Chains A and B, each alone.
Chain A
Amino acid sequence: MPQRQPPRRQSISVGRGARKRDEDSGTDVGEGADEWAQSKATVRPPDQLELTDAELKEEFTRILTANNPHAPQNIVRYSFKEGTYKLIGVVNQLAVHFSQVGNLIPKDSDEGRRQHYRDELAAGSQESAKVVISETEILEEEEEPKETEAETELGSQTDVPAAEAAAKATEEELMTPKQPKERKLTNQFNFSERASQTLNNPLRDRECQMEPPPRTNFSATANQWEIYDAYVEELKKQEKTKEKEKAKTPVAKKMGKMTMRKMTSMESQSDDITKVTQAAKIVERMVNQNTYDDVAQDFKYYEDAADEYRDVEGTLLPLWKFQNDKAKRLAVTALCWNPKYNDLFAVGHGSYDFMKQSRGMLLLYSLKNPSFPEYIFSSESGIMCLDMHVDHPYLVVVGHYDGNVAIYNLKKPQSQPSFRSSAKSGKHTDPVWQSELVHTDVIKLKAEGNTTDGLNGLQLHTVGCGTAFDFHKEIDYMFLVGTEEGKIYKCSKSYSSKFLDTYDAHNMAVDAVSWNPYHAKVFMSCSSDWTVKIWDHTIKTPMFIYDLNSAVGDVAWAPYSSTVFAAVTTDGKTHVFDLSINKYEAICSQPVVAKKKNKITHVQFNPIHPIIIVGDDRGHVICLKLSPNLRKMPKEKKGQEVQKGPAVEIAKLDKLLNLVREVKTKT
């Protein structure tokens, strides 16, 4: 410090000068130092001002101010208002010595609080809350003694962190034991990845291909009826298995197998066409129906309107004509309606010419198919008579000219009869047969009457030969036999040797006898002596006699009325009588055959429909419809109920008979 004295002197002496001197003195100090080192004597520089002593003693005051020495003192600004430059009075004297931009934020600010909140979530809420409170207190304490300089947040902040850090350290010590593990945040400075590669086995494809399963397209519909069909089939199968189980015997089994094999082989061999049989049948009928459409319509619906105008007479409307080439030359010897199927009838063909005898045929026709018979059977000998079983309508019994009786079973496909007998041996037939008509050979069986049921053939001693017979409808054992001589015998099955009664009926052979379907006592007979006679079996003389001018071939009662009957003659005429309307004359006499040469041989009424079939000796069968007049029911008086039924019919006939009896007794 003593070293400085000399420079002071120098400076004071120089002080009179302006600031230049200060500056120089500043610089001079350095030089002064150098000079001191050299000597203590004052050395006058050559360019120093020469001052008087008075001037040297002049005092100059020096002031220490806070003004910024670098701040300009005469700032001028242009004033647009006045249009001149103006001097600014106050000049900012702020001098910034140091500034630094930091990244610290106050805890009280929003961002600070947010960061704390996040920390609180990780840590515990209470502790952080305490931290916040203590920190705010510290902040407040620190801020008070500070100088408030503008923009000194940063400055205060720099002072605070020191205290905060200390506080924080203590707080951290408090917090750590209660905090759960903090998530370690990976960052690009603090992150290490560890990876390892394992050995990957190479992949290999293994394939195996098979043949695809065979495919077929299957399509079906599932309708209600297909389901129904399936059920029905199942049911049938079950029933079959049941039957097989029931009829189990080893022999039967074998037989069954054999037949099954035969069946299957047959089916495979036979032509497919056979399966169309049913359809073909139906179609044939349809075709026929079309062709004979008008006839079918007539059959069903036509009622002769003209009958209203005719008093009592009726007509026969020809419908169908049945004929077959094979039976062309053969006469119709027998007609029979099937009891069950009303459209089916049987025609027996043979010959009435006793000198010329040839083969016979049995044809069954249906009204639905007039062009061709349903069944054809041929036999060696002519058929003379036939009948159908009532209960088993598929059985047809046929009597042949040579005395054989044959039974045909329509269910079986055989063309041969299933049963044959010769009348000589007197073989029996089914007891249920009602009226089995067997026309025996005149020549051969002279002695015998007719075969009947029972184990033993009934032999009747007849004077002549039987040509016709009929069983009583109700009284089982009683039957009538007509002979070639013209006599009629009433016989009983129980009395084989004797007749119950004899009637001298006709002069020539009796062609037909028939009991009345309703009246138990009345029967009718016809003969080649041109007459038809109606009898009461208790009275020896006939009730009614009709002369028809020609040999009567056949006579038949109508099934719907006890007083109506039809008779056919060899001159081709058909006569229909109704006793309740006209006792003496026919209500219809009509030629029905085309040629007059044709002789009508048989007539039959249909049990249901109002038609009759007439057979002639040329092998033709004609179907005729009865007009309404012929089917008249007796008119009841108004107010009374129309009574129907067998009782009425019987009563009707009784009335007539009584009339006749009265007449007879009178005469």
Chain B
Amino acid sequence: MLGLGLPQRPPLVEETLKRIQSHKGVIGTMVVNAEGIPIRTTLDNSTTVQYAGLLHQLTMKARSTVRDIDPQNDLTFLRIRSKKHEIMVAPDKEYLLIVIQNPCE
């Protein structure tokens, strides 16, 4: 689907993120850069920093695992489902997009 390769214009990204945030059950979203520093978030500072640090490491580990098994492969996304909510991590080349959603609402 994304193979059509249509690059979105900058405003659309903002809209997308807003849409995600306003979606049903979404608790928070954040954008983390390659070093684990949060760039953009909708949660409070301490929570953000905690999430960013921990998930960054986990994503790196996951990606390393996938690529070690097959170097031509790459991590698309990571979902962690817990009792209370689901954390979704979509890694990019330089950034990490983290969304926390409560799917049961």
Contacts and interface: CB of A to CB of B under 8 A. Distances in A.
Interface of A: 221, 223-225, 227-229, 270-284, 286-288, 290-291, 293, 341, 343-344, 366, 368, 371-372, 374-375, 393-394, 410-413
Contacts of A221: 64
- Interface on chain B toward A: helix, strand, loop, or mixed SS? mixed
Given A283-B29, A286-B90, A368-B1, 9 more contacts: A224-B71, A273-B13, A277-B13, A280-B97, A287-B20, A287-B25, A341-B1, A413-B7, A413-B9
Contacts, number: 128
Nearest to A375: B6
A291 B103 contact: yes
B59 to A, nearest CB: 11
Contacts of B94: 272, 275
Interface residues of B, number: 47
Nearest to B85: A290
Nearest to A270: B10
User: Which residue, of B5, B19, B20, B99, has the highest number of chain A Cβ atoms within 10 A?
Assistant: B20
A417 to B, nearest CB: 14
Contact of B10 (A271, A278, A371, A394): A271
B31 interface: yes
Nearest to B103: A290
Nearest to A274: B10
Contact of A290 (B33, B90, B97, B101): B101
B51 interface: no
Contact of B86 (A284, A290, A393): A290
12 contacts: A223-B68, A271-B10, A272-B33, A278-B2, A281-B16, A282-B97, A286-B77, A293-B103, A341-B1, A374-B1, A411-B6, A413-B8
A552 to B, nearest CB: 33
Interface of B: 1-10, 12-14, 16-17, 19-20, 23-26, 29, 31, 33, 39-40, 64, 67-68, 71-72, 76-77, 79, 86, 88, 90-97, 99, 101, 103
A341 B6 CA distance: 14
A287 B77 contact: no
A413 B6 contact: yes
A282 B76 contact: yes
A153 B79 CA distance: 115
B23 A288 contact: yes
A283 B90 contact: yes
Contacts of B2: 278, 281
